[in-house]
A and B are shown apart, each in its own frame.
Chain A
Amino acid sequence: MFFHSFYYNVKCQLRTKELVFWNLFFPIILGTLFVSTFGGNMQKEEIFFTIDVAYVAEDGGEEGFVELLNGLQEGEDQLLSVKTCGMDEAEDLLGKQEIRGIFINGKDGIRLLVKEEGITESILKTILNQYQKTQSMIGKVMRERPEKLGDVIAGLGEEISFVTEEKYTEASMDAMTGYFYALIAMNCLYGCFAGVTCAVSIKADVTSLAVRRNIASTNRFVVMAADLISSVLFQFCYTMVSVVYLKYVQKVDFGNKMPYLFIVVAVGSFIGVATGFFIGSVGKARAGTKIGLALSVTMTECFLSGLMIGNLYHVIQSVCPILNKINPAALIVDALYSLDIYSDFRRFWGNMEIMGLMSFLLIAAGYLTVRRERYASI
């Protein structure tokens, strides 16, 4: 009986045009659009721009660093625009956000003062780090062969440019992959449609098909389980097709995350179907209304996870982090980000656990309402 139901549910799913479109073609189309928008951008656009900084020289400062700053101000891809001034003025400028950082050349070396944390600030840090790494060499050159100083500084400048470029690329990649992560989340969560169908086709007060299944001599729980499991499986396959398409056809770089993508997509599909099942189970609204509701819920989740506005996820993370902890789309995006950021998988598995638990609760709550054996009215 289980396999009988399973087999026919698979058939029905394959033949439901709306499901195939929204789960298979729509994500692929959207992914293709993303690639053609960001992908082109990334290669063509010059991503260098000049960073405004202040330089404050206290007594006993280092000569070499001034040379380096001068070097970075030259040339076509000028990295820095340096204003040499006193500490008070520099702080004032930083406060007004006219500059992004202050290099303070003092007795105990060079310090960097920044106000925010971001890609620009991290480039400034890189400059300082690179300088500090070569500091002793610069000092030696200055003492022994001052005429070579220009070459050394130029070499250092090049190195910095290189590192900077990498950083920028990473940053824009990051923004771009964010969209793809949100897209994957959306694709998983579209399982809600199949989930709603699972629920209403067991609710005799919503569809007449359910009446027929209710009067049959097969346990409803078996029929329902077959429906749910085949729906999750379907959602998983659909989403994996999009992932594979993005990776191999559109050459989106998911790094070495593929095995984890499997897990995320499996758990994501589960929570997608579970969400739909819950919405389908509760209340007597028509199936169409329930599908509409499920779509709105899913799209809101996706929106908040950054599907339309890339950094919305990060904004919520700073404003109301709890929202990201209960939004399945955000959890999926976060799990995928966490693979880039952390070297252990604590955060990743943590997110999977939350999603697993939520799915379980949604299905259990849905089941408790559809389980009701007799209806007050049909």
Chain B
Amino acid sequence: MTQPVVVIENLVKRYKELVALDHLNLQINEGEIFGLLGPNGSGKTTAISCVLALLNFDKGSVKVFGKEIQPDSYDIKKNIGVVLQNVAVFRELTVYENIDYFCGLYIKDKRLRKQYVNEAVEFVGLGEYVKFYPKKLSGGLLRRLNIACGIAHKPKLIILDEPTVAVDPQSRNRILEGIEDLNAQGATVIYTSHYMEEVEQVCSRIAIIDKGRKIAEGTKEELKKMIKTDEKIHIEVVGLSETQLSQLRQLPHVYRADYAANELTVYCNGGKHNIVHILKYLQENEVSFGRVYTQLPTLNDVFLEITGKELRD
């Protein structure tokens, strides 16, 4: 197997009193789209900044492409592309010039750079806007420009820090597809987000972090296997009594059932035909029900079960 692209070991970072990263361990392998999922303030950006040798840290080590990264590790840095959480572009330069400027910090050859810049423009779909100044771009287009500036030089490792914040669903899908394309072209991707749907959609492996600690790691299937819930069943029910609810809780494989606002939610772990058993019970007890649907567990459920709180509030 090839060597891992990024290895973070026992990383501790304190901002004065606050412990932002608490003995964090991560390993990102070549060819992965690695998702770093965590709520606001969990330390995603801090971790990324440490990987980029921007921040000093209290303990631990960060290796990129097998070497400890230092601020002057230009040979490592030239293979990294970063899309920052904050949009960072020159107001005085047009879309094209911005991409060209940042690409030029990596690529010396003018012809090659021109080609790369054009490909990046194409990639984020800003073709019509190359002559625009950032001021004239909408929030979503600005994000796309931000992405283009980070990846134009075709890096082997791409780090994206919440690239889809404040982007409409259409642009978001475009960005996600783009990330998959980049990955298909051979780039290893680290993707941070607090949107679990996104992470579920594109990432091949995921680490969930909270308060600077890794609380779970694996493919999304592996993560979901870690928790009890296999299936969530939602049923519209009118007038369910307290006794009936507790009887429902006695059914096999049901480990939790909630009833609120005419909706019954039943959590099951394992077992087959759970829905049939439940509906049968309701029929036998002459409880009328409406819409029924079942849901597979989400990463939110994983987060919920491990930390006892919602990923998003």
Contact = CB atoms under 8 A, between A and B. Distances in A.
A complexed with B: yes
B282 interface: no
A207 B84 CA distance: 12
A214 B15 contact: no
Contact of B88 (A11, A211, A217, A219): A211
B86 A11 contact: no
A217 B106 contact: yes
- Determine the interface band of chain B, counting residues with CB < 8 A from chain A: 20 to 34
A375 B54 contact: yes
B53 interface: yes
Interface string A4-19: 1100100110011000
A354 B150 CA distance: 44
A4 B114 CA distance: 13
A32 B75 CA distance: 54
Interface stretch (B21-29, B89-97, B115-123, B234-242): B89-97
Nearest to B108: A1
Contact of A215 (B52, B70, B104, B108): B52
Interface in A352-378: 373-378
A8 B75 CA distance: 24
B77 interface: yes
B104 A4 contact: yes
B101 interface: yes
Nearest to B113: A4
B199 interface: no
A214 B54 contact: yes
A377 B55 contact: yes
Q: Which among B72, B75, B101 has the highest number of chain A CB atoms within 10 Å?
A: B101
A218 interface: yes
Contacts of A219: 72, 74
Interface of A: 1, 4-5, 8, 11-12, 15-16, 204, 207-209, 211-219, 223, 373-378
Given A1-B108, A215-B54, A217-B106, 11 more contacts: A4-B105, A5-B104, A5-B105, A208-B87, A211-B54, A211-B88, A212-B84, A216-B106, A218-B105, A373-B53, A375-B54
Interface of B: 15, 49, 52-56, 70-72, 74-75, 77-78, 80, 82, 84, 86-90, 92-93, 97, 101-102, 104-106, 108, 149-150
